Chain A
């Protein structure tokens, strides 16, 4: 039972354009959502998070949007840069509980 789903395995965008990474969840008890970035042979790096009491959180080029009614969140990266090429994981949690991760999406930013 996959509670966090990233349905697209990969995304390719042109440098300078917007990257939109999507994530869906099924557990209505999730109240905190996170995005991680992972390069090969490294551990995941925390990018940005959002609480369920908000619908948007922005940090520089990264913005996360949360649509609770649709149980959907997205990560927008603008402008995309070649160094953003990595695997991106969506994660969700309930209070004082484990993080549940999606399977990840590989983003490629073409110069």
Chain B
């Protein structure tokens, strides 16, 4: 049984470039979350998908950030025109119930 898979595990990008981060949730999990953790900080909520409901986008820090979840499974977080303050570990999690969430290993994004 595979867990939540995120790719790439590390990404270095130049300021101003766009990046896409991918999350493959655990099969059958209806809920999917994106969080990020900046250096020395806690877990910052970004976006939450639950089944066919409209996603909760209230945590997205700016309109440069967007996320999709296709077919109720794979999700992609896109950051346009990256800035240095976007550097963080981006964590994806999925849940069968919308209660206990199971996290992937994260994508470490460095904007230079």
Contact = CB atoms under 8 A, between A and B. Distances in A.
A101 B99 CA distance: 13
A43 B100 contact: no
Interface residues of A, number: 22
Given A44-B91, A101-B43, A49 B103 contact: no
A102 B59 contact: no
Contacts of B45: 98-101
A96 B50 contact: yes
A83 to B, nearest CB: 19
B59 A98 contact: yes
A25 interface: no
A36 B98 CA distance: 15
A44 B103 contact: yes
Contacts of B104: 43
Contacts of A70: none
Given A46-B100, A104-B42, A99 B106 contact: no
Nearest to A90: B42
Given A49-B99, A93-B99, A98-B33, A43 B42 contact: no
A65 interface: no
B105 interface: yes
Nearest to B56: A98
Given A96-B50, A97-B48, A43 B33 contact: no
Interface of B: 4, 33, 35, 41-43, 45, 48, 50, 53, 56, 59, 91, 93, 98-106
